[in-house]
Chain A
Amino acid sequence: MTMSGDEHYDFIWKIVLVGDSGVGKTNLLSRFTRNEFNAESKSTIGVEFATRDIVIKGKMVRAQIWDTAGQERYRAITSVYYRGAVGALVLYDIAKPMSFQNLEKWLNELREHADPYACIMIVGNKSDLTHLRTIPQEEGRLLAEKNNFSFIETSALDATNVAEAFNNLLVDIYKIQVTGDESTIISSPNKSDSRFKLDSSVTPMEGGSEGCSC
């Protein structure tokens, strides 16, 4: 096997997934990179990884996604992993108010450790749990707007908006990292759901680097 055999990507970007324990970070990642969902996935200890290659505006981008442990206790260690991240998905569970309240802590964490130009997206996960919802979509959107972050609701379980979340974030990153266009982030936070259509500019590559056996 070769892990780095086809090195034909133009950019490699590190994205971190953060949020309280149990909000679905690992499954959001596995849904995006392997199209898998495992209701009984193990708690993440330390950090786990996956990559997926995506074409944005003709450039091959390797998204290298770091899935970090959610429990507070590990933040001291996981903060190391923020180093070099150019994007972050900050997750909460739409059925768990506590996970929403804790967003502030996670955002502070990012402000302290991540690249100041890192793109941040607030993600309300588990949108399939309509009957258990306690955080209205508007509330999440408001918080994101207040902080000039983008916002999306996803369901790793039924795959709703998962690719969109990652792709939108990657396009944001592209703007910052490649075109140096900061204004998009600063001035128009409310661009989440529909502005960047997958079909128009973003083409997911099949497979990514997953599936190589060692």
Chain B
Amino acid sequence: MAGFLSIESREVIRVEVKKCDGLLQPEYKRFSLDPQITSFEILQKTLTRAFGVKSDFTISYLAQDVSGQDVYLSMLSDWDMDAAFQTASDPCLKLKLDLKPFEEGLDDWDIIAPGDVPQYRFAHFIDRNSFLSSLTGTISSHVEKTMSTMQRTLGLKTELEPQYRAAKNPMTDMEFHNYLDSSGHMVKPEEFRISIYQGGIEPALRRVVWRHLLNIFPDNLSGRERFDYMKRKEKEYYKLRDQWREEFSQGTASEEIKYVATMVKKDVLRTDRMHKFYSGADDSRNLISLFHLLVTYSLTHPEVSYCQGMSDIASPLLVIQKDEAQAYLCFCGVMNRLRSNFLIDGEAITTKFNHLGNILQIQDPVFFEYLKEHGAQDLFFCYRWFLLELKREFPFEDALYMLEVMWSTLPPDHPELELPLMDPEYCPSLLSSSPASPTFSIKQTVYAKLLSLRRHKSTISKHSSSSDDSFSHSSSLNNNNSNEQTCCANEYPKMDAPEVQELKEKLSDIDQSLEHSMSEDSSANSSADDFSSEKCNGESDIGSSMTEGHTSNTDMEDQPQFQISLEMDQEERMLEQTQRCSLHNKQISQKSVSTPSKLAGGSVETLSLQKDQKSSDSLSAANSQSMKNSLVPGSVQNTQKNTDTSQKSQDDLHISDCVEVSDDDSLDLIKAKMNTPDLPKPHEFGCGNPFLMFLCLTLLLQHREQIIHNKLDYDEISMLFDRMVRKHNVHKVLHQARLMYSDYLRTQQKLHEQEMMEEFGVSV
């Protein structure tokens, strides 16, 4: 199923290799290989021995660029090799082997996955004949391929950050298939996402899995249907693309096209060029693909058009999909959610600034106060974080991991029938430079709008006398935008929508059985002054209510985000609920989830949340000033590990979908106390991406000591984060963000339950 869209169906690929060694006569060899069991490493070994090569070499393969020209593209990894198999192996894959030192401009890349660097040196030791004869069809080499993939993955993780391990290993192909039924329907979407949330995805599997995460498929397609769907949509893309390319080639392109194309080109030429995928000449195939993709999107989405930063969003999609049309589909999927970031009104970004400010103020009032004193509470230095969803803040490969983890926290948003590849207002005739071309004015209107917006802003800022007011300035802007919520949350059902009412009725009998456990819980919450000890009560209450298997129902109403995994053995019930919900609204079909303790595996050391709670409680007790509902950053010694995982009792709540494993006891773990009723609900928080808010919060908090200790001012803080581009530690950041996120969700759930209780007149 996973292989539907790759070349796995081909059994044999014929290969013709040309060895070039300086001025010597080229040498040719031919052989066949089985794409299913050949890894890049094996290919290297094969070539080494076939030609008796004694030195390092580079491999490139002959492909055709968009204009039909033959070009040699370098092959440096399994990914490149798969791409070659897929696009350039018919009827015969032509390889070129160059004997020269392998050098690449990788200086700017902080991290290179060990597997990405070819291992040439030990290639001579393998027996030549036996190896070639066993090239196809042997199990051992299949195992080798898997092993090398595993080592690569593990190697990457352990070498980088031994002390922060994810709760589970990245999703493998085999695991992925567990979430599908025999004909390829996605049957366990929640578990699927939780698994990614916990450990990400194996690099080789990203291509397929990202398509699911990015909501390009309508719900409930079989593998075969997805395949057909992809083919159809790819054609649709090429049609859209050719519309404007034709105008170009005929010299009839409108000013608008030229303007967009110029802007896109400028950025494509400087997007991730240090990555091997985009290295090479300025007119290399992958760059042209990125260019086509962005121009097509910009022209077919006139409201968005092209905006700097979009190339950063598209770049990883193309690196992973390796195919222009498929990457375009993914890009449309991402942009459905992100387009508001790029709109001229700036509302979505403004909302995010406000939300991050709010949560920082709640979580770390001391730090917030510091920023305020330095006029930095507007947090404008986080702008890029929001716009690109942190893509530039981590090394490229790490950003892929961060992105997929973040995407996994978002509710599925399948297109109703099909993923639209263009906006409804798009009309191909606008591309042509007919005498009365109406689109030329777009640029002007946009600028006029911008000017008026800015005037609006500046009037406000003139009212605010000092820089200290800039935060309230943006808040007031925010308040003026009455439609702001709708822009972010319009896909979620309103509380009084008929379908929600219906659900509420269905829930009423469930509430009866919830009554017992909830009454204790809400009494705990009612006294905020002594929050810490009662928080623990609250936890166990949730735990017990969950074992009754009802609480998950309450999520359906207005908490489409993933709830933390509180449920132990209710899979059947939940599947049933999933189906029922999806009848009402696709958005609310996502509910509280399954048994991640299973996924986490018994061997993983888990942190008991209750113990965490206690340890951080004792700390915060010492710091009573910021006690009430704030996160207290500081050196919390995480000595309270629950090392005996077998000790699970029913009321011992293991929040295992956010289990973070740490080998380093001296880590500063910041324990979140998300008793934060002020925070927006998941579908509003961060414009529907609360996890992003916690990632950003984490970045801020992880530099808090440095900022306060060195007394950095506004500009220095800005410069500090500017210098941290691509340097943040993804494992450390995700670790902390997951902890805070799960606390947030728990509190939200509790609040929600309280609301439900009150609404149905249950005594609290």
Contact = CB atoms under 8 A, between A and B. Distances in A.
Contacts of B54: none
Contacts of B710: 1-5
B722 to A, nearest CB: 5
Interface in A52-97: 64, 69-77, 79-81, 83-84
Contacts, number: 111
Contact of A40 (B269, B344, B380): B269
Interface string A112-133: 1100000000000000000000
A46 B447 contact: no
B383 A77 contact: yes
Interface in A21-62: 21-22, 40-51
- Counting chain B CB atoms within 10 Å of each CB, which of A69, A76, A81 scores highest? A76
A186 interface: no
Contacts of A105: 447
B371 to A, nearest CB: 16
Given A49-B719, A73-B307, A80 B706 contact: no
B568 interface: no
Contacts of A43: 266-267, 270-271, 308-309, 311-312
Contacts of B718: 47, 49
B458 interface: yes
B342 A73 contact: yes
Contacts of B342: 73
A51 B311 contact: no
A45 B308 contact: yes
Contacts of A46: 380-381, 383-384, 387
A83 B309 contact: no
Contact of B458 (A41, A45, A70, A113): A113
Nearest to A105: B447
A73 B263 CA distance: 12
A48 B458 contact: no
A44 B312 CA distance: 11
B346 A76 contact: yes
Interface string B369-392: 000000000101101100110001
Contacts of A141: none
A3 to B, nearest CB: 5
Report the contact-size class of chain A (Cβ under 8 Å from the partner): 35 or more
B271 to A, nearest CB: 7
A92 to B, nearest CB: 14
Contact of B344 (A4, A5, A73): A73
A4 B342 CA distance: 35
B384 A214 contact: no
Contact of B263 (A5, A71, A77): A71
B172 interface: no
B720 interface: yes
B71 interface: no
Interface string B311-323: 1100000000000
Contacts of B703: 214
Contacts of A76: 344, 346, 450, 453-454, 457
Among the interface residues A3, A41, A81, which one has the most CB atoms of the partner chain B within 10 A? A3
A49 B470 CA distance: 20
A49 B273 CA distance: 22
A42 B453 contact: no
B711 interface: yes
Contacts of A41: 270
Contact of A79 (B270, B349, B383, B458): B458
Interface string B681-712: 00000000000000000000001001000111
Interface string B718-731: 11101110010000
B584 to A, nearest CB: 38
Nearest to B265: A22
Nearest to A26: B270
A74 B724 CA distance: 22
B303 to A, nearest CB: 12
B418 interface: no
Contacts of B311: 43
Nearest to A80: B380
B751 interface: no
A49 B387 contact: no
B713 A4 contact: yes
Nearest to B388: A45
Contacts of B450: 72-73, 75-76
Interface in B441-478: 443, 446-447, 450, 453-454, 457-458, 461, 467, 470
Contacts of B384: 45-46
Given A40-B270, A73-B450, A79-B454, A21 B387 contact: no
Interface string A181-214: 0000000000000000000000000000100001
A49 B346 contact: no
B274 interface: yes
Nearest to B350: A77
A46 B341 CA distance: 13
B716 interface: yes
Contact of B715 (A45, A49, A75, A112): A49
Nearest to B342: A73
Contacts of B719: 3, 49-51, 209
A50 B710 CA distance: 18
A84 B461 CA distance: 13
B380 A49 contact: no
A43 B710 CA distance: 30
Contact of B706 (A64, A74, A81, A214): A214
A214 B709 CA distance: 13
Contact of B309 (A45, A47, A64, A72): A45
B761 to A, nearest CB: 48
B458 A72 contact: no
B308 A74 contact: yes
A98 B454 CA distance: 23
22 contacts: A4-B713, A4-B716, A21-B267, A40-B273, A42-B270, A43-B309, A44-B308, A45-B309, A45-B384, A48-B722, A49-B715, A49-B718, A73-B307, A73-B342, A73-B446, A73-B450, A76-B344, A76-B450, A83-B467, A84-B467, A105-B447, A214-B727
Q: What 9 pairs between A and B have smallest CB-CB spacing?
A: A46-B383, A40-B273, A49-B719, A45-B384, A22-B266, A71-B308, A43-B308, A46-B384, A43-B267
